[in-house]
Structure 1
């Protein structure tokens, strides 16, 4: 029979776990938001968003039956994924569309895994993504960017304790969610200044006949929706104790 003392000990341990998870979730969200909003850290961290962006193009191109030629990542955090196939049609539209939503959708998927307490799965998916991009990268800067990202990921996965891993995974997930929104807003600003006329949105406009402004709206709504839903999943440990009734 479980004694009252044992029950209280278990309850106290759970409260500590919930408290740690809540602190990690909130702190990681604040840090990720600052990284995205502040110019200097964003300039470097944006490379991660670009890697995921180009991985999205590449994955959908493969799924659409196109032949991948390679990925190029530039020091200005832009990138290009080249594939061969029919220059129009659904496959090309989906391939072009896939880039901007990729970080948001990956962040949402990671948030679901974090909510299910599957941190190792998040690290495994991230490692597989980096390996896939590394195989496809065709320039030195791109290889360096992917290897540095893989080095950080490997150090955390192999050398960090559970709490540090949880903090890193939460930070990475929040960063993908916040980091998916800023490139869309940046693209809107560039197009208002008459720049970036060959962006994904403009290519989609030429492929579909739907104005680029509409595609930008779609991309923006999708990114913000993923941020809201993913954020709710991530902060669930913080709000659950306050909303849960007495057991």
Structure 2
């Protein structure tokens, strides 16, 4: 256990500036182009639903399971009071989770804890797998978890560093795009049961306020994450 812990907290050397910049451009391209976004958006959904699940547990709501669908949507099933702080915080956590996870991952990257970051992602995926209640969700988590495990076990340290950086930037950039998609759907009245609209029904604030808040946190996370990973500071 001592050897494993020493390996987990081992500090890697700082990446070259071109590696950080190239990883950011790669992640931005993945999020920007429609085809690559459709193929990878499910990873943001995993973080989104994971955020709902973690907050439900923290607020002592009964977590009944998570479903991930092939259209990249998802749902987290909880039971408890239909209103109150626990329900509000659970609904609030979804759209914030990818950006905040990306920010936490950026901090670990800044500290050189690449191995700890990769194994934290693996642990998160395993916990999600235990809560999944549909076959497609289990399959996508197994594939994603298998890829992360393969990188952690067989990839050289330099490759692990690049993969970690791309994932961090992808969470930061990918946390923003669904918020703009939500705004467009709400404008067309196609998202009456969105998290923002549920929050509007639970509180005295309109749904547009929550969309603005999601966007503010997302953009702030990108700025803070970029500052943390800036190789020139």
TM-score range for the pair, normalised by the shorter chain length: over 0.9
Question: Is 2:38 the partner of 1:43?
Answer: yes
Question: Is 2:176 the partner of 1:181?
Answer: yes
2:143 is aligned to 148
Of the three residues 213, 217, 225, the one matched with 1:218 is 213
Deviations 1:138-176 (A, max 9, x none): 111101110111011011100100110000000000000
Cα distance in 2 between the residues matched to 1:110 and 1:163: 17
Question: Is 2:204 the partner of 1:209?
Answer: yes
Deviations 1:114-152 (A, max 9, x none): 000000111121011101110001111101110111011
Aligned pairs for 1:180-199 (under 5 A) are 180-199=175-194
Where has structure 1 moved over 6 Å in runs of 4 or more? none
Question: Is 2:58 the partner of 1:63?
Answer: yes
Aligned pairs for 1:26-175 (under 5 A) are 26-175=21-170
Cα distance in 1 between the residues matched to 2:79 and 2:187: 31
SS of corresponding position for 2:76: strand
Cα distance in 1 between the residues matched to 2:216 and 2:116: 27
Cα distance in 2 between the residues matched to 1:194 and 1:88: 24
Q: TM-score, normalised by structure 2?
A: 0.93
Tell me, which stretches of 5 or more residues in structure 1 are unaligned? 1-16, 241-247
Deviations 1:172-209 (A, max 9, x none): 00000000000000000111111011000000000002
SS of corresponding position for 1:100: helix
2:7 is aligned to none
Q: CA deviation at 1:21?
A: 2.3
| Pairs aligned (count) | 221
Cα distance in 2 between the residues matched to 1:82 and 1:128: 21
Deviations 1:73-130 (A, max 9, x none): 0111000000011111000000000000000000000000000000011112101110
Cα distance in 1 between the residues matched to 2:97 and 2:16: 26
